[in-house]
Amino acid sequence: MYSEWKSVEIEEMNIQKDHVHLVVSIPPKVSVSEYMGVIKGKTAIKMFKSYPQLKKKPYWVNHFWAPGYFVNTIGMDKDVIKRYVKYQEKEEQQNQNFSLF
């Protein structure tokens, strides 16, 4: 796996119906933008090969991932970010329930 090869540690992951949250620890010798580009590119190719019907979604225009990502080098509390990722799905469901009423 690419992450192992680059010594990137996946610390937290939350996969939802329409998006993915990851908390990764990237060593200083690895370019963040290069790592994200490879991860997004390889997973998109694999998803489109495994599920060709995804290419028929007109709103994706043959793009699987959104162009951006969040990076934090120092300053934010790592545990807060990991908790956010871990419980994001539960929080989004609660917000949807509130918006229904």
Catalytic residue among 2, 51, 59, 84: 84
What DSSP designation does 64 have? -
Residues linked to residue 15 through DSSP beta bridges, in sequence order: 20
Long-range contacts of 66-75 (CB under 8 A, 24+ apart): 66/19, 69/36, 71/32
Q: Is 69 among the residues known to form the active site? A: no
Helices (H), the chain: 2-5, 32-50, 78-100
Active-site positions read 84
